[in-house]
Amino acid sequence: MKNLIPADDLLSNNKVECAIDEVTEINRSEHIIATGNGTMFKYGKLILATGSNPVVPPIPGIEKKNIFAIKKDVAYLQDLIGKLDKVNDLCIVECGFIGVEIAEECRRRRPELNISIVEMLSHCLQLVYDEEFCMNAEKVLKEQNINLLLDEKVDAFLGGDTVEKVRLSSGKEIKADMLIIGIGTAANIGLAEKADLEIGPTKGIQVNRYMQTSDNDIFACGDCAEKVSFFYGKPSNLKMASISTMEARIAGANLFSIRRVNMGVIGVYSTVLGGNAFAAAGLTSSQAIAKGYSVITGESEAVNRHPGCMPGGANLKVRLVFEAGTGIILGGQITGATSAGELINAVSACINKRMTADDIATFQTGTHPALTASPISYQLVNAAENAIGSIYIYIYIYIGETEKYYI
């Protein structure tokens, strides 16, 4: 394994002293931190970026050998890879981004390996995509002979000292001489709790919009810090590298004078499955409706070159979700060509600036035959244009007292 970010060089080149040790205590009244080897550091301002730890569910049999969570630990992951090369039946618990990406990597490494993914929801990637996009992802996984066990929960891990099978709540048992659990992470707040800093409702370090903790001289950012949703200001469990870096830039800028404000997490995702990109930002249609929004959507699909016979041409589909009354964008999903990974960042920028469908339909784009779709079929613009038509014919139809449909 290689460290892709040469952090030591990055710090030393910017005249930042790096001390590698474990911080064991924060003395807030004296503005001193203590480390494991007994060194003391005086601070004026302090940033906590202690990250997160994998969630390991208390499932019977979890203590058996060959059951791994995804930890940010090189030696641990090297052991996982070493064991992976010797097993026959791999089971992955969770069919979100971690689960599907691990499944694909394992398939590339071991083409003959029997791989199953267990997911308690009805679809893989359901927390990120609307049903059509989920089903497309499932099709790609099944084409790679990855067995999907949806609407299933793990009841127990069976075997002797080493795991041999997984029993599901349906009563079904599947062979598994190795388990990888990727159900999420929990904020690493031990040091903050010891320092008596306030902890938030999702068990992250409570911070304000400036990334300050309950102690004005201590900031927190990344997975260890509490999040709020960009859309409705309520606590959010999102933990992503892109969010962490955004929060770090805010915390760093605000250390000695307030310059930046965290407006909340949007959630921007992308992955590649079987050569097909799947990307999303913000809310799906179902998530928005569940939060009380009335929504309309617009879609556009076209080849990402013009003409489509240009080298690198591939299909690209965009779906945008808007609040029906105001036309403000709430989310977007893209699938197809790998250029989706960059285009979804543009969608996130539109969300961040609360652009309307009209704003997106009329903003100026740069196009080139070898790089993008034609300006008359540019997917982002046309998806917004198609949504605008729905806004003007938007009506409610009520059936009985509880059913509500949007047309």
CB 39 within 8 A of CB 19: yes
* Cα–Cα distance for residue pair 313/374, rounded to 1 Å: 12
Instruction: Give 112's contacts (C-beta < 8 A, 6+ positions apart).
Output: none
* Cα–Cα distance for residue pair 347/342, rounded to 1 Å: 9
Q: What is the mean pLDDT of residues 150-164?
A: 97
24-82 residue pLDDT tens: 999 999 999 999 999 999 999 999 999 999 999 999 999 999 999 988 888 999 999 99
pLDDT at res. 311: 84
Burial class (CB in 10 A: 0-12, 13-18, 19+), 266: buried
* Cα–Cα distance for residue pair 363/218, rounded to 1 Å: 41
Q: What is the mean pLDDT of residues 338-347?
A: 95
Alpha-carbon Rg of the chain, whole angstroms? 24
Would you say residue 405 has pLDDT above 60? Answer: no
Burial class (CB in 10 A: 0-12, 13-18, 19+), 249: middle
All domains of the chain in start order, with CATH: 1-43 (no CATH), 67-185 (3.50.50.60), 196-265 (3.50.50.60), 268-397 (3.50.50.60)
DSSP string across 237-250: ----HHHHHHHHHH
68-120 residue pLDDT tens: 998 888 899 999 999 999 999 999 999 999 999 999 999 999 999 999 999 99
Under the banding of pLDDT at 50, 70 and 90, the label for residue 5 is: low
Tokens 């997984």: give the residue: 166
pLDDT at res. 7: 62
CB 118 within 8 A of CB 152: yes
DSSP assignment letter at 231: T
CB 258 within 8 A of CB 211: no
Lowest mean pLDDT of 3-17, 61-75, 206-220, 323-337, name the range: 3-17
pLDDT at res. 4: 59
Under the banding of pLDDT at 50, 70 and 90, the label for residue 394 is: low
The fraction of the chain above a pLDDT of 70, given in percent, is 94
- Give the DSSP H or E segment for 387: helix 379-392
Under the banding of pLDDT at 50, 70 and 90, the label for residue 337 is: very high
Would you say residue 282 has pLDDT above 50? Answer: yes
